[in-house]
Structure 1
């Protein structure tokens, strides 16, 4: 198991230990990812957001977004492997809007789930989060592709459940694309609501790294800059939870 991280990763891990989160700009994040593996297939990876299915559970609440989901297993600082497709579950404690139900989403396309870009992202997460939790031997990993669409009639809601925790150990939120949208500001709070910081994922590869047990996070609604044109915010969310 490595005992040190490259300097930028070490600085980021120190910030997460100290603050419970950090915002990573694209000019830092993209080289860090490239140091872990290939991003050669990134254009195809990003284009896969054009083929996400609707979230039927959110639609039942009168809201709309698109998503796909996959699960992996990871050995700390080691192998990451795709697991059989399974439900996504959160308790009401962590998701007051859709908790205590098994939610079955369309699986991430196999070509995307096994792509070089996604495995590079997962390798980065495994190294980074395993260093922050050296006692963990194995991880349960979930990957979510999200597209939030906005129109002149309805703002897009990246976090319709409001400021929340995900009920995991660590979270990566990575911006893949944003087109013709305004706002979408990430806000970080203490459990009692004290604001700790805010930032906007504005460029491809901008990212947030979050120690979920310590802080709450949310994202403000997005609206179109040009009302007559399509508008969307595409993100990849990766969560790591220690296996018992």
Structure 2
């Protein structure tokens, strides 16, 4: 682990979260593996499927989903399966199995995602060295801001995901303002805030300790497409 990674481990251990600037995050990831397919990786957000469950509440976003398992550091993709959260963690859409379009094989097997998965297992594994097996969920999210309609990155509000650790990594941000991440204690006390604006800007979160939310995004120019593309990787003790 490089010096930036070691610093972030200490910060997460101390306060439950860490923001990493894109340049530093990219350098750290490059020390773990390849990122040569980044243009294709970022472009894959153009092929996300709709979120039909959120549409039922009058909201909109696009996404793809995949599950991986890390056992002793060996990472393998699991059979496609639903995403499930209890209502304790998602009051808006809890207690239902939600099936989304799968992450494509090209993305799942590509250098960028494989590097990010190895990084997550190594980084969060250093915070929980007793854990040999992790269940990993990968989410590609696109939040769109439409004319007269803000986009909601976290429509469930300030929340926990019901996992152990979370990586949120900015992929692309176009023609939007706001989208500020806030971190909270259980009693609502705000611990900090930051805005992911550049590719590779990242948040590392101890989901068992802190809550997080993201403010709505609006279009700077309503006549042009506006979106916020992020990768979310969650780890849960296997």
Alignment of 1:167 with 2:162, yes or no, is: yes
Kindly indicate whether residue 62 of structure 2 is the aligned counterpart of residue 66 of structure 1. Answer: yes
What residue in structure 2 maps to residue 40 of structure 1? Answer: 36
CA-CA distance at 1:152 after TM superposition: 2.0
Aligned to 2:9: 13
Equivalent residue number for residue 135 of structure 2: 140
- Who is 1:154 aligned against? 149
Cα deviation code 1:208-235 (max 9, x no counterpart): 0000010000000000011110000000
Specify the alignment match of 2:48 in structure 1. Answer: 52
Q: 2:101: which partner in 1? A: 106
Whole-angstrom distance in 1 between the partners of 2:70 and 2:25 = 21
Q: Deviations over 1:86-125 (max 9, x none)?
A: 0000000000000000000000111111111100000100
Name structure 1 gaps, 5 residues minimum.
Answer: none
Cα distance in 2 for residues equivalent to 1:57 and 1:235: 19
Superposition TM-score, scaled by structure 2 size: 0.99
Instruction: Report the aligned-residue RMSD.
Output: 0.6
Moved beyond 6 Å, runs of 4+: none
Q: Aligned residue for 1:223?
A: 218
Match of 1:22 in 2: 18
Equivalent residue of 1:223, what SS?
A: strand
Q: How many residues align?
A: 238
1:36-61 Cα offsets, whole Å, 9 max, x none, are: 10000000000000000000000011
Asked if 1:242 corresponds to 2:230, the answer is no
TM-score normalised per structure 1: 0.97
